[in-house]
């Protein structure tokens, strides 16, 4: 059953990532750095934080057996966000020696994702308390 929950959440998350990525690429035809995956990863980090804050009110260590966490946390948000695409895009900027774009992309992606997770988490903990 757990594998089915992961597949369901992951399938929906992958489709959502694709659609949001397409929308961002259409909106920003010549972005200063890979905006589409940055936005996807920031939205996903915020959403996962909000999920943790609203559902658990903490960041639990042993949530891997919880069916909703498997579906939403690991399945949906795991497939929605994409560290592998981030790595490819960062490598492309590195290869092109676009140091400023690379630095901005890495900084916004890593620091932004952590801050967005904490923001989503804090907002939902405060909202549900």
Cα 50 to Cα 95: distance, rounded to the nearest angstrom: 36
Angle between helices 99-128 and 83-95 (to 10 degrees): 160
78 is in an annotated binding site: yes
Q: What is the CA radius of gyration of the chain?
A: 16
81 is in an annotated binding site: yes
Alpha carbon dihedral 113, 75, 17, 12, in 10-degree steps, equals -150
Q: Known binding site: residues? A: 78, 81
Binding site per annotation, positions for Na(+): 78, 81
């Amino acid at each position: 059953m757990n594998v089915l929950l992961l597949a369901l959440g992951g399938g929906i998350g992958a489709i959502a990532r694709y659609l949001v990525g397409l929308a961002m690429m259409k909106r920003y035809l010549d972005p200063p750095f890979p905006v589409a995956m940055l936005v996807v990863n920031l939205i996903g980090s915020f959403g996962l934080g909000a999920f943790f804050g609203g559902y658990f009110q903490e960041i639990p260590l042993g949530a891997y057996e919880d069916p909703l966490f498997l579906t939403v946390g690991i399945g949906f948000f795991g497939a929605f966000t994409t560290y592998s695409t981030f790595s490819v895009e960062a490598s492309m900027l590195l290869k092109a020696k676009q140091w400023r774009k690379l630095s901005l992309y890495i900084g916004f992606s890593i620091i932004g994702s952590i801050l967005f997770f904490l923001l989503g988490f804090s907002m939902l903990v405060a909202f549900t308390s």
